[in-house]
Amino acid sequence: MLKGFWVRNFKSLRQVGIGSCFSKFVFVNLEKDNEGERAILPHDLDSVTVFTGVSGTGKSSAIDAFGFVSDCYWHGVEVACLKRGGFDAIYSQGAKGAITFGFQYQQQGEIDTATYALSIYRTKSKVPYIESEVLAYQRDGESLPVIFLQNGAEKSIRYLAPDERLTNTELTQIEFTDHNRLGLSALASHPKYPVLKSLRSLFEYWTLCRCMPDPARGLDQSIPYRHDSPRGASLSGIVRDLTKRYENNLAPLLSHVSEIIPNVEKIMLDNTVPDKPLLSFQLCDRGEPVPITHLSAATIRLFTYALLLEGEPAPLSVFEEPENGLDRNHREKMLEMLYRFLANSRTEKPQIFVSTHHPSVVNALHPSHVWVFEKDREGFTAVERASDSIMFQSDTDLDDPQWFNVHFDEKR
């Protein structure tokens, strides 16, 4: 479970913390600009977290923080910056110090909370590099380092603890030659550090779902994907991967999904052609089954959400404005899936982030699951958990089924 994260000096996120996190990590210097400490109340994130706020307040930037670190993991820091226009394009205007990300999470079966902190800066010639990288456990308020990586523009020294309970003075020094690559990617398969495997999975398999029906209609020949692609084009990859992991027996899942989607009686899978499963849908108002290429945009969207939520979700899935293109009936079905996802007592708890502008989506969840994005006086992002707002005067206000309309939407 991801319990919280913070971002500093990344786009409009000059200093933002969401969930259980802290603004200053003992092994990473975040106070180079001598700014005052920001009090961030600890609130563990749950299975479903909603980001809301007017356009331009930083919701997409918060989501892209995960994409950026994932790109750093796969391709290196320089490529991650270039994909976004370079270091200067993502560096907060007027900022001092490094771009910093921190992720606090708890591994299955562990009593300790783990924190991974990454700090990225640039050389005088504006080449980005990893300034520092830390992985540590927290137990009873004490930080116990697992990995401490202190990098420089021309050298990269990594410190590795043979035992995660050892102190900082007992770390073993390892020298790396590439300050562009994360130590996490180099050490993610280390047998002594199972905590690295769960963190690696977060950045390897996290998925950003912006379901776009036109590319999703085509069952392409691309390699199987475990989860959705940012543009929805890998819907066929999802289906192919499901057929492999369900040992060519998708019938129970497809039967369950067909009960969720309006106007669908049955979903049929033709897996006779290797690596090219074909889906057809028996609709209530049609005599013959229709292929997925003939489905409405709303049906394709809801079908994709159902596969991701009702099947085997990614460790972290992000749905950007999932209400787009859905009528009221389809939207209610989508919300029902989110309810079930939140109530599901899985052993391994995947998580969902939902970015939305729609009041009905926000009202559907308790204010403790909702984080409201705004702009501060200097134009940077400010975030608060909705249930912490001074607009709520009592517990009755928190339980109002139209709480967002009453306390946020109409007053702001």
What pLDDT is stored for residue 355 in this prediction?
93
Measured between alpha carbons, how far is 235 from 326 in angstroms, rounded to an integer? 18
Where residue 126 falls (left for φ over 0; alpha for ψ -120 to 50; beta otherwise) is left
Distance between CA atoms of residues 103 and 202, nearest Å:
10
The pLDDT score that the predictor gives to residue 212 is 60
Dist CA 377 CA 382 (whole Å): 10
How far apart CA 237 and CA 311 sit, in angstroms, is 14
pLDDT at 215: 53
Closest CA to 159 of 174, 177, 140, 138: 174
Please provide the distance, in angstroms rounded to a whole number, between the alpha carbons at the two ends of the chain.
32
Structure confidence at residue 250 (pLDDT): 78
Answer yes or no: CATH 3.30.1490 is held by domain 207-313+316-349.
Answer: no
What pLDDT is recorded for position 121?
92
Residue 322 near residue 354 (C-beta atoms within 8 A): yes
**Cα 303 to chain center, whole Å?**
21
In tens digits, the chain (412 residues) has pLDDT values of 888 999 999 999 999 989 886 544 433 333 334 444 434 446 788 889 999 999 999 999 999 999 999 899 889 999 999 999 999 999 999 999 999 999 988 776 666 677 888 999 998 888 898 888 877 776 666 666 566 665 555 555 555 555 444 455 555 666 666 778 887 776 666 666 666 777 777 887 787 776 665 555 554 444 455 554 444 445 666 676 676 777 667 788 889 999 999 999 998 887 676 656 677 889 998 888 888 778 888 888 888 888 888 877 778 888 888 898 899 999 999 999 988 888 876 656 788 999 998 888 998 888 889 999 999 999 999 998 888 887 777 777 777 778 888 777 654 4
H/E run at residue 6: strand 2-8
Residues whose CB is less than 8 angstroms from the CB of residue 11 and which lie 6 or more positions away in sequence, other chains included: 58, 61, 64, 90, 92
Q: What's the pLDDT score for residue 63?
A: 92
Task: Using alpha carbons, select from 407, 382, 411 the residue that is nearest to residue 393.
Answer: 407
Among 217, 35, 29, 27, which residue's Cα sits nearest to residue 136?
27
Beta bridge partners of 320: 355
Where do the structural domains in the chain lie, given as residue ranges? Answer: 2-43+53-202, 207-313+316-349
- Tokens at 337, concatenated: 């899936």
